Amino acid sequence: MKTSAFVIFLSVVITVYSLINFYIFIRGWQAIPSNSAFRKIYLIIFLFLVLSYIIGRVLERFWVSPVSEAFIWIGSFWLSAILYFVLIIIILDFTRLLNETTQFYPSFATFNYAGTKIIIFVFSVVMVSGLLFYGYINARTPKLTELKLSVNKKAGLIKDLNIVVASDIHLGTIVGHERFGHIVERINSLNPDLILLAGDIVDEDLGPVIRNNIGEHLLNLKSKYGVFGITGNHEYIGGAEAACNYLAEHGITMLRDTAVFVNESFYIAGREDKDIERFSGKKRKSLDKILTGADRSFPIIVMNHQPTEFDEAVKAGADLHLSGHTHHGQMWPLTYITDFVYELSVGYLKKSGTHFYVSSGAGTWGPPVRIGTTPEIVNIKLKFEQ
């Protein structure tokens, strides 16, 4: 990404982040009596929460340690808390304005307005804390999604293929050694013929992955025909070359605008992430060019991290197209945004004979919580025409 574009992007993000946090802060500040000593404590705690994620991310660039990880964990929870505090405040402000005309507030609330504000403040904190606790437990327990699909092509002597797909793991501080170890155990328990990692395998920074030796779990992935991966936007945010080299050193065959013919039976094509141009200035190949020289009478499996260009996949003769990226919003009501932006935000679609599946992802990015969405490992039983 060009320096000027990055500075503009960063400035916009910081400005929006600051304004949203100020909105939350001022509404909480107004709820605390002006003569209360708790106001100072509230100010200190609030500033700590707001700055934690930024401090943690800066620290891990040159000092990956329990200190940087603690800041990231605290700041990550705060990122999700922001969303739900804003929603609560918007609802409260709307009802307050509505009360100006309809006077529907009960008499005790208007009689003791200062006390009511404190009660609402405490209730909001408790409710958001409860949501985050639920979301954290939910995020750590990926479900198994099973699909049985047929492809109207022959695949040599292979009659069927047991595929396990995991996208958006985001290995790093949040999805670390223990959590990823459980994901690997779950994948291996399915006895896959083929393991496909559909992008965002690592988070922005490789430092925590290397420090905690998370790569040893990658070496434990077992399948008949191998483990294949592609780049996602987060590999590019953190440095695609370093990330791909690390993954390759730990047993992952990275497909970067390339296709491989597996067991003389089927093709796997892996596309570079769309953000390659934004971060490196390079352009990714078209799918048709990636498949140049391929015998398209054999089954073709395509991995494309961001769920776009479905028509291109159909035209190129893809039989199964796998994506991730969206997390299906990760936290409600952001699910509505991904549903609006993408033709398919999550789940299955068949289009002109091509099977499409967009995974909600096995891990999390940013907030270590999922509310209204569920992480998943996808098990596809692919049957070929005989």
The model's pLDDT over 320-331, given as tens digits with 9 standing for 90+, comes to 999 999 999 999
- Show the beta-strand stretches assigned E in 142-282: 143-151, 160-166, 194-197, 227-229, 253-254, 258-262, 266-270
pTM of the model: 0.89
- pLDDT of amino acid 92: 86
For residue 148, how many other CB atoms are within 10 A of its CB?
10
- pLDDT of amino acid 112: 55
Where along the chain do its domains lie? 3-138, 144-384
Average pLDDT of the segment spanning 32-54: 91
Instruction: Label residues 353-378 b or e (16+ Cβ within 10 Å = b).
Output: ebbbbbbbbbbbbbbbbbbebebbbb
Average pLDDT of the segment spanning 61-86: 91
Specify the CATH class of 144-384 in words. Answer: alpha beta
- Over residues 108-161, the pLDDT tens digits come to 555 556 777 888 889 999 999 999 999 999 999 999 999 999 999 998 889 999
The gap from C-alpha 52 to its chain's centroid, in whole angstroms, comes to 20
Quick one: what percent of the chain has pLDDT higher than 70? Answer: 95
Sheet containing strand 300-303, strands side by side: 258-262, 266-270, 300-303, 320-323, 354-358, 347-351
Quick one: what percent of the chain has pLDDT higher than 90? Answer: 70
- pLDDT of amino acid 267: 96
- pLDDT of amino acid 57: 86
- pLDDT at 8 exceeding the cut of 80: no
More confident residue, 69 or 107: 69
